[in-house]
């Protein structure tokens, strides 16, 4: 590396882009991806105007407009919105249940030695079970409805979140726990007024980290058995090679995921000012 | 009857003896400094006074009571760090000292109002009224320790335990904290145990200075014997040390 660095006046680690430079650099990969796609699409379409594999960006925009605004002929409803609400409902349901469960379990494991003995190896083993392998069982046990999809998300992300929250509770300096006791705090007060507020920011960052897997489990479950949902639609239109629809849905899911992530980050920053007091 | 009585206390971890035959009795209002080599068991002794851990054998009583099994409001504590709650503002940290004893850990209505008034008085007292809404992480080390002491005092403990409370502070701040602690003591006549590595500090603040050391030493097995109180200095006479032999070993008086 030093050979390369000799060319520069400073070490590479000390070069920091200016603000406009940083914005340009951030945009660059997106621009490159778009340009590469456009060129590839153009080449294929000139060779064969009927090609469906890489629809032109303009076609995707037209399709997107139609999907977002034009109702389905039979049901008179806009399918994309139906799919979106169904999927988000399942996603939020599953994530909310997981967050609540992992918070309760995590604090119990982190604070109570008895709960730790009881649960920690069980959860460590559970987190190794590949959730998608359980999907058939879930469909058999809970049927093809909403329950099995939500349960899949819960099984998929709860063990990881629980382990991490328990770890974080155990990292709270023992001094604080002892201090609370010298102020007369019961176990319940220690849990609720010392541990809970300090792990809530961690819960939010766990939810942010887990949302990726939650989407994965959701789309997998919808693809296998459903009649509405973003994942269901993508796998349905795959049969007709409707790449324009699939790409619209993929971009839409990405956008939704991005907005949720951004909102959680903003929430965390507003709700926990003490986290940043030291910075 | 002494206020705090430590009778033949031993502590060991596994097969390592840490403390052995520790005996001391302390009167109400005494300020006891504790010094000794690193790792000799000073913090261990304090943790037992705090009832965070139980002695291997022996008794520790406050006003003749039983050896406590867990920390409670009788024993206040300030550690070198992490003694305040980072997620609570300065003022909420003080209010917590009154609220945490309730079933839900909160205060409402007039009880809350009264606690706020008392918290504000304490903030005035510890010189933090200008930062009441800030979070501990934004305070200097000295301010955090003042808050920790104020918080411990708000709970009105019978004894106050300080484990190297000023160990992480710069010398100037440390001197300010000495004045602060001396004033606070004057006002409250609190019984205090303070562990420190600074002998000047020990003699300046303490009425007594206890020295922990190993009286017996096995070169083959350093963990065989524990430390105990080897000196018990009277430090009231402006810090001029002299060993109060008769107080420490009353049996000598009859000999
Ligand atoms: N929970 C524990 N389990 C095992 N050993 C321990 C435990 N707590 C302390 N020790 C050991 O006991 C000895 C005394 O520790 P202690 O913290 O009381 O020393 P100290 O006098 O406070 O030292 P320092 O001046 O460095 O704070 C040390 O050797 C320490 O490693
Ligand atoms: Mg110590």
Looking at the domain assignment, is residue B196 inside a domain? Answer: yes
Residues B90 and B69 in one domain: no
For residue A276, the 8-state DSSP code is: G
How do strand B159-163 and strand B75-78 relate by DSSP bridges? Answer: parallel
Integer Rg of chain B from CA? 19
Looking at the domain assignment, is residue B80 inside a domain? Answer: no
Please give the structure tokens belonging to residue B252: 């000598």
One-letter-per-residue 3-state SS of A184-203: CCCHHHHHHHHHHHHHHHHH
Residues A80-102 have a mean pLDDT of 95
- B40: exposed, middle or buried (C-beta count within 10 Å: 0-12, 13-18, 19+)? buried
Residues B68 and B163 in one domain: yes
Q: Which of A208, A201, A224 is nearest to A277 (CA)?
A: A201
pTM of the predicted structure, to 2 decimals: 0.86
Domain that holds residue B132: 86-154
pLDDT of residue B255: 40
Distance of CA A174 to the CA centre of its chain: 33
Sign of CA dihedral A98, A99, A100, A106: positive
User: HSE of A268 in the Cβ direction (CA atoms, 13 Å)?
Assistant: 19
In order of their start, the domains of chain A are 3-54 (no CATH), 70-271 (1.10.3720.10)
Residues B16 and B136 in one domain: no
pLDDT band at A88 (very low <50, low <70, confident <90, very high): very high
Q: How big is the CA angle at A252 (ends A250 and A254), to the nearest 5 degrees?
A: 70
Nearest to A197 among B87, B134, B138 (CB): B87
Residues B64 and B112 in one domain: no
Please give the structure tokens belonging to residue A261: 């992530």
| Each residue's pLDDT expressed in tens, for chain B with a length of 255 residues | 688 888 889 999 988 888 989 999 999 989 999 998 888 899 999 999 999 999 999 999 888 888 889 999 999 999 998 889 999 999 999 999 999 999 998 999 999 999 999 999 999 888 898 999 999 999 998 899 999 999 998 998 999 999 999 988 888 888 888 988 888 888 888 899 999 998 888 888 888 999 998 887 777 777 778 888 888 887 776 555 444 544 555 554 444
Q: How far apart are CA A41 and CA A52, in angstroms?
A: 10
**Boundary of a domain, candidates B128, B154, B180:** B154
Residues B141 and B215 in one domain: no
> What CATH number did the domain enclosing B244 receive?
3.40.50.300
Look at residue B6 and give its three-state secondary structure. Answer: strand
**Boundary of a domain, candidates B154, B188, B214:** B154
Nearest to B76 among A182, A188, A273 (CB): A182
Q: How far apart are CA B194 and CA B182, in angstroms?
A: 13
A104 touches chain B (CB under 8 A): no
Residues B68 and B166 in one domain: yes
Closest Cα to atom 2 of ligand 1: B13
Residues B28 and B70 in one domain: yes
pLDDT tens, position by position, A219-250:
999 998 888 999 999 999 888 888 999 999 99
**Boundary of a domain, candidates B154, B171, B204:** B154
pLDDT of residue B233: 81
Residues B200 and B179 in one domain: yes
pLDDT at A67 > cutoff 50: yes
Ligand 1 binding pocket (C-beta < 6 A) is: B 13, 18, 36, 38-44
Please give the structure tokens belonging to residue B183: 């004033």
Residues B209 and B146 in one domain: no
Looking at the domain assignment, is residue B99 inside a domain? Answer: yes
Are B71 and A181 within 8 A, CB to CB? yes
pLDDT at A277 > cutoff 60: no
Q: How far apart are CA A82 and CA A249, in angstroms?
A: 13
Nearest to B155 among A183, A198, A273 (CB): A183
Largest CA distance in chain A: 79
Looking at the domain assignment, is residue B169 inside a domain? Answer: yes
Looking at the domain assignment, is residue B204 inside a domain? Answer: yes
Name chain B contacts of A182, Cβ cutoff 8 Å: 50, 71-73, 75-77, 152, 155, 157
Ligand 2 centroid from CA B39, angstroms: 7
Q: How far apart are CA B72 and CA B104, in angstroms?
A: 17
Residues B190 and B232 in one domain: yes
Residues B10 and B61 in one domain: yes
Looking at the domain assignment, is residue B81 inside a domain? Answer: no
Q: How big is the CA angle at B251 (ends B247 and B255), to the nearest 5 degrees?
A: 120
Residues B166 and B246 in one domain: yes
Angle between helices A113-126 and A79-111 (to 10 degrees): 140
Domain count, chain B: 2
Q: How far apart are CA A233 and CA A81, in angstroms?
A: 11
pLDDT tens, position by position, B174-223:
888 898 888 888 888 889 999 999 888 888 888 899 999 888 777 777 77
Residues A108-134 as b/e (b if ≥16 CB within 10 A, e otherwise) read bbbbeeebeeebbeebeebbeeebeeb
ipTM (interface predicted TM): 0.87
Ligand 2 centroid from CA A65, angstroms: 69
Looking at the domain assignment, is residue B103 inside a domain? Answer: yes
């Amino acid at each position: 590396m030093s050979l390369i660095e000799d060319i520069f006046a400073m070490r590479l680690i000390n070069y920091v882009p200016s603000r406009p430079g940083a914005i340009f650099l951030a945009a660059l990969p997106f621009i490159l991806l778009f340009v590469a796609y456009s060129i590839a699409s153009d080449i294929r379409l000139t060779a064969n105007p009927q090609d469906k594999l890489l629809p032109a960006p303009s076609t995707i925009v037209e399709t997107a407009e139609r999907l977002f605004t034009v109702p389905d002929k039979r049901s008179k409803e806009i399918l994309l919105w139906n799919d979106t609400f169904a999927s988000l409902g399942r996603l939020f349901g599953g994530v909310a249940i997981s967050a609540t469960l992992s918070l309760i379990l995590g604090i119990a494991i982190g604070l109570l030695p008895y709960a730790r003995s009881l649960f920690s190896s069980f959860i460590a083993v559970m987190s190794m079970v590949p959730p998608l392998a359980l999907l058939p069982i879930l469909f058999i046990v809970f049927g093809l409805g909403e329950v099995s999809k939500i349960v899949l998300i819960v099984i998929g992300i709860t063990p990881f979140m629980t382990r991490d929250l328990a770890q974080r509770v155990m990292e709270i300096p023992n001094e604080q726990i002892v201090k609370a006791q010298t102020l007369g705090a019961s176990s319940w007060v220690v849990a609720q007024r010392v541990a809970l507020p300090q792990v809530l920011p961690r819960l939010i960052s766990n939810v942010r980290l887990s949302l990726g897997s939650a989407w994965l489990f959701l789309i997998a479950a919808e693809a296998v058995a459903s009649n509405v949902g973003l994942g269901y639609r993508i796998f349905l239109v795959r049969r007709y090679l409707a790449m324009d629809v699939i790409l619209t849905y993929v971009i839409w899911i990405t956008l939704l995921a991005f907005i949720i992530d951004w909102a959680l980050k903003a929430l965390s920053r507003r709700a926990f000012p003490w986290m940043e007091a030291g910075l | 009857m002494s206020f705090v009585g430590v009778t033949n206390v031993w502590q060991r971890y596994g097969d390592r003896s840490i403390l052995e035959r520790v005996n001391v009795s302390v009167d109400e209002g005494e300020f006891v400094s504790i010094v000794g080599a690193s790792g000799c068991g000073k913090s261990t002794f304090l943790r037992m006074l705090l009832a965070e851990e139980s002695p291997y054998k022996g008794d520790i009583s406050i006003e003749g009571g039983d050896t406590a099994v867990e920390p409670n409001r009788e024993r206040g504590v300030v550690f070198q760090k992490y003694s305040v709650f980072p997620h609570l503002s300065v003022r909420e940290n003080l209010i917590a000292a009154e609220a945490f004893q309730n079933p839900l850990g909160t205060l409402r209505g007039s009880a809350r109002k009264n606690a706020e008034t008392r918290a504000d008085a304490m903030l005035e007292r510890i010189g933090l009224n200008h930062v009441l809404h800030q979070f501990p992480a934004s305070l200097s080390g000295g301010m955090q320790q003042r808050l920790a002491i104020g918080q411990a005092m708000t709970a009105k403990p019978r004894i106050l335990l300080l484990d190297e409370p000023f160990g992480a502070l710069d010398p100037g701040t440390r001197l300010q904290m000495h004045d602060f602690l001396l004033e606070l003591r004057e006002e409250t006549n609190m019984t205090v145990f303070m562990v420190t590595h600074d002998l000047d500090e020990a003699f300046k603040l303490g009425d007594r200075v206890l020295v922990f050391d190993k009286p017996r030493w096995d070169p083959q097995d350093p963990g065989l014997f524990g430390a105990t109180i080897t000196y018990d200095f009277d430090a009231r006479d402006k810090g001029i040390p002299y060993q109060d032999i008769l107080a420490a070993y009353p049996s000598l008086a009859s000999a």
